[in-house]
Chains A and B, each alone.
Chain A
């Protein structure tokens, strides 16, 4: 099973700041990685697929990068509604796993 390690576990920032979230996989997954946002009491929402493609309707301040084993989700300038938990997910050989999540909180 491929293990996904997200860091940091918690990120405390202020609105307007830049957020950089990391996801590292225990084996290469090529570009087969997605990023999700989940707010309290809500269903997860897909933000980025195939490592770097933004879902239609997701603001341009969200961007994904990386390939192989190291991936990054960047939020260029935080809006109040961006404070949430973010998960990465991989697909490899039709097996799937999620990272443990990064909580992005208001400083």
Chain B
């Protein structure tokens, strides 16, 4: 079945650094959603993308819908300790289902 692979799997960064992560699919998507999950909590929607090439920002976060429609990218600028968590991409698989990526675990060193 469809899978979404995220890289890197995990990363340690220094506070203040910029972060980049990506999500790739074997098939074309018409929507990309990016979520952040804190320990013991539910995923929180960060950014939604609906058009190939679209670049959308939410504060220090910027996400892009890849031109091939098989990938998406999330960047975090000037990371802070509260950026710690797991970042998931998600895309529609059929009409009534979203599948989630494997996740990127971010750890920020103060």
Q: Do A and B bind each other?
A: no
